[in-house]
Amino acid sequence: MNIAILCSGNGTNLQAIIDGVKSGYIPAKIALVASDNKDAYALTRAKQAGIDTLVLNKKDFTSREEFDKEIVKNLKKRGAELIVLAGFMRLLSPYFIKEYKNRIMNIHPALLPSFKGTRGIKDALESGVKVTGPTVHFVDEKLDHGPIILQKAVEVRGDDTEEALLERVHAEEHKIYPEAVKLFVEGRLKIEGRRVRIL
Ligand code: GRF
């Protein structure tokens, strides 16, 4: 199966998936890494692994949908069957989501449905929860909302800082994201309404 990964930043989750493919844990090919940020370190990681990259600048497009049409065109050209969002800091248009219904995954650094949005770590820390952790979910039309695939609990310590908590949440992301991709590629994820059954 060809998969594509969309990133805007550092790309540590991308790296975990690249490593998973390289070792044979994920039986798939990464056909494309695309970014909306030409300076994303994720692009360097992709190039180092010999993966094709694509950079799109939102300023070159008149609307979100036009931007997404260009990405989708490239994804189709490469035969991508699964789209993995790994720190992609753009909302997808309904057009994109429809084109790849139930074939787009995202990772969020909190236990959804808690702490949606871009401040998942900070909001969890400030709320005083004792447990947080990453969520991998399918993407639907609402932000951080689609059916949940995997989650991992991470204990919040009394003396935690945002940086310390982020580091521990990230370490778990790097385990559950490759696992979720593997499960999808192997055809072992079955969506039943809001629930995802692992076969
Ligand atoms: C992760 O914390 C993920 O949960 C969020 O964006 C961050 C991406 O980090 N969606 P990286 O670029 O994979 O290092």
Task: Determine the residue of 12, 118, 152 to mutate for testing ligand 1's pocket, defined as the one with the most ligand atoms within 8 A of the Cβ atom.
Answer: 12
Q: Look at residue 171 in the predicted model and tell me its pLDDT.
A: 98
Annotation marks residue 137 as catalytic = no
- Give the model confidence (pLDDT) of 137-148 as tens digits: 999 999 999 999
CA of 144 to the centre of ligand 1 (A): 13
Question: What's the rounded mean pLDDT across residues 116-124?
Answer: 97
Q: What is the mean pLDDT of residues 72-87?
A: 98
- CA 178 to centroid of ligand 1, rounded, Å: 13
Separation of alpha carbons 5 and 14, rounded Å: 7
Residue whose Cα lies nearest atom 12 of ligand 1: it is 11
Task: Place 59 in a pLDDT band, splitting at 50, 70 and 90.
Answer: very high
Q: List, for residues 67-76, the tens digit of each pLDDT value.
A: 999 999 999 9
Q: What is the pLDDT of residue 4?
A: 98
Helices (H), the chain: 12-23, 41-48, 64-77, 94-99, 120-127, 162-185
Q: Which residues line ligand 1 (CB under 6 A)?
A: 7, 9-13, 86-87, 107-109, 134, 170, 173
Confidence of residue 25 (pLDDT cuts 50, 70, 90): very high
In the chain, % of residues over pLDDT 70: 100
Q: Read off the tokens for 93.
A: 């248009």
User: CA separation (Å) from 157 to 39, 120, 131, 132, 138?
Assistant: 34, 16, 9, 11, 29
Protein residue with least CA distance to atom 9, ligand 1: 87
Give the DSSP per-residue string, 45-102.
HHHHTT--EEE--GGG-SSHHHHHHHHHHHHHHTTEEEEEESS--SPPPHHHHHHTTT
Instruction: Give the residue whose CA is nearest to atom 6 of ligand 1.
Output: 87
Span 168-188, average pLDDT: 98
* Predicted pLDDT of residue 11: 98
Q: ∠45-172-86 over CA atoms, to 5°?
A: 40
Given this model, what pLDDT does residue 176 score?
98
Q: Give the residue whose CA is nearest to atom 10 of ligand 1.
A: 87
Structure tokens at 28: 């798939």
- CA angle, residues 96, 83, 48, in degrees to nearest 5: 130
What distance separates the 2 farthest-apart alpha carbons in the chain? 50
Q: Which two tokens stand for residue 112?
A: 């959804």
Kindly calculate the radius of gyration of the chain based on its CA atoms and give it in whole angstroms.
16
Q: Given CA atoms 122, 86, 110, 89 in this order, what sign does their dihedral have?
A: positive
Q: How far apart are CA 23 and CA 15, in angstroms?
A: 12
Burial (0-12, 13-18, 19+ Cβ within 10 Å), 131: exposed
Cα of 87 vs centre of ligand 1, distance in Å, is 4
